[in-house]
Chains A and B, each alone.
Chain A
Amino acid sequence: MIEVRELSKRFGDALAVDRLSFDVRPGVVTGFLGPNGAGKSTTMRLILGLDEPTSGSVTVARRSYRDLPAPMQEVGALLDAKAIHGKRSAHQHLRWLAQAGGFPRQRVDEVLELVGLAAVAGRRVGGFSLGMQQRLGMAAALLGNPQTLLFDEPVNGLDPEGVLWVRNLFKGLAHEGRTILVSSHLMSEMEETAEHVLVIGRGRLLADLSIGEFTQRSSGSHVCVVSPEATRLTSLLLEQVGSAVTSNGDGGLSVAGIDTARIGDIAAEHGIRLHELTPQRASLEDAFMELTRESVEYRAQPAAEKIGR
């Protein structure tokens, strides 16, 4: 359990994190989403006690990170897989970490086995691919068998097989009742893994909901209806439910604010034939874009506008 309360962090003039409050609960994978520069990494550093908050508080297992008696047994984190000393072997790298946590040498072999790096344990990590470095970072995070795990953009640089492996690892870890926070700037990445999402933009919390609620809240959700009696159906829908209906010609309707079952029932009651009745669920990507539109820090000019100048 991670509890963030009114957390703010200022770097000079820039407010990187702006009065954030949320809980990260055990048992599910929580996606931590936001455009680049939204404050995700800063928040993670604040959770880990690497940076001192300007105001507010954050606790892990009800304690401030710096006060945890055995931090590695409580929290495992992977912030930047490339931030390692390239001249050490994978085994040496995990060895100093294991010692820092007070864990036996055999634990190093166990986690190397777990992430599939046992065969390259003696090789220098500087020569590892980004994917292998991500796996090494996972191994480091898992050394202390912690209840809480934080991952910052963990699938960057992974091949498809690695991405699948990471997703299953996260799900498995959450299934064991652990608290998992995974950040990403790509919504699509979370669709498969996260059950809960926190969305931030410009350091502020924009949404804290389950992934289902998240999609539903998006205004993009609607039902696509095709009927030879579209005009009659339109007036019925407007009368009975007051839903928003837009016609796109040729008997096609786009209906918002009502589900397929209700539309089907109304049509049947009045003997209106339907040729198509399809729910159009907005993708998470769309919902995410909509939510963060206002808070994207660096945005490209629309192409047409640029060319026009």
Chain B
Amino acid sequence: MTSVPFAATAASEWTKLTSLRSTRIVAALSVALALAATTVGAILTGRSWDSWGTAARADFDPTVYPLIGGIFASILLPILGVTAVTAEYSTGMIRLTLTATPRRGRLLLAKTSVIAAATMLVGLVTVLGMFVIGQVVYGLYGLDAANFGDGGTLRALLGSIVLAPVFPIIAVALATLLRSTAGAITTILVAIFLPSIVGSLLPDWWRENVVAVLPGPAIDTITISHLTDVESSLPTGVAVLAVAAWLGAFLGAAQLAFVRRDA
């Protein structure tokens, strides 16, 4: 009897995720809202450009500004990570899942990988869509547009795509720890928005040494800090380490709890 390969577990989790209509709705809504917000934002920029002052015009970056719509994907995609875990507990299906795959470490890894792949795919469509829409609209209004070939642009787009799964993965870990949809969604939204809400209220030292290493600001550092001013910034290498450390910490805690607890 040959043992079951990891790919089989991952394929199973992929089928679970994609066979639910709610997954497709959340993914489609993420893309649609992001592109709509970016379109509106770019049109408003184009129409009001003549009234912009020199300082505002100097701040404007044609790569960064269209990414504004990404906020919708940031809010919606973690929901996929949460429900992929909590739906198993609320239905009781987790017992069937663990009977089929009793190796819990592997199961959580498969679930995380599948969520990462799916959200990166949605991230790819969203980021490229927002960028293209932005450049087309700016072109129509005669503004400077960005190019894929620009080094800075490429880093921003690739970074945004590759890091799209960070919060969804943290969401998987939180849902595994909390086993509650409402609890996990609330916590992940707080984690996403708290830095930008309280960050500006804090003294400089706190902003530079504490807020900056939180996942959200660290992601911004990696993706757009070379093109525009961000609230709190780290050296890029440190920001990469910070994101990796957060992922490791959340997944590590989730693994420990998942392996030890009774299903």
Contacts and interface: CB of A to CB of B under 8 A. Distances in A.
Chain A, interface size: which category? 35 or more
B4 A87 contact: no
Contacts of B5: 102
A107 to B, nearest CB: 13
B1 interface: yes
Given A65-B102, A99-B12, A70 B2 contact: yes
A184 B96 CA distance: 20
Contact of A80 (B16, B19, B92): B92
B147 interface: no
Interface string A48-59: 111110000000
Q: Which of B3, B16, B20, B92 gathers the greatest number of chain A CB atoms within 10 Å? A: B16
B8 interface: yes
B100 A100 contact: yes
B15 interface: yes
Contacts of B95: 45, 48, 50, 79-80, 83
B22 interface: yes
Interface string B211-250: 0000000000000000000000000000000000000000
A99 B20 contact: no
Given A85-B20, A100-B4, A102-B5, A71 B99 contact: yes
A83 B1 CA distance: 29
B91 interface: yes
B98 A50 contact: yes
A68 B19 CA distance: 28
Contact of B8 (A88, A92, A99): A99
Contacts of A51: 262-263
Q: Max chain A CB contacts within 10 Å: which of B1, B15, B263?
A: B15
A141 to B, nearest CB: 9
B19 A70 contact: no
B256 interface: no
A97 interface: yes
Nearest to A64: B102
Contacts of B3: 69-70
B26 interface: no
Contacts of A65: 102
12 contacts: A48-B99, A48-B102, A50-B95, A52-B262, A69-B2, A69-B3, A77-B99, A95-B15, A96-B19, A97-B96, A100-B97, A140-B96
Interface of B: 1-5, 8-9, 11-13, 15-16, 19-22, 87, 91-93, 95-103, 260, 262-263
Interface of A: 45, 48-52, 65-66, 68-75, 77, 79-80, 82-89, 92, 95-97, 99-102, 140
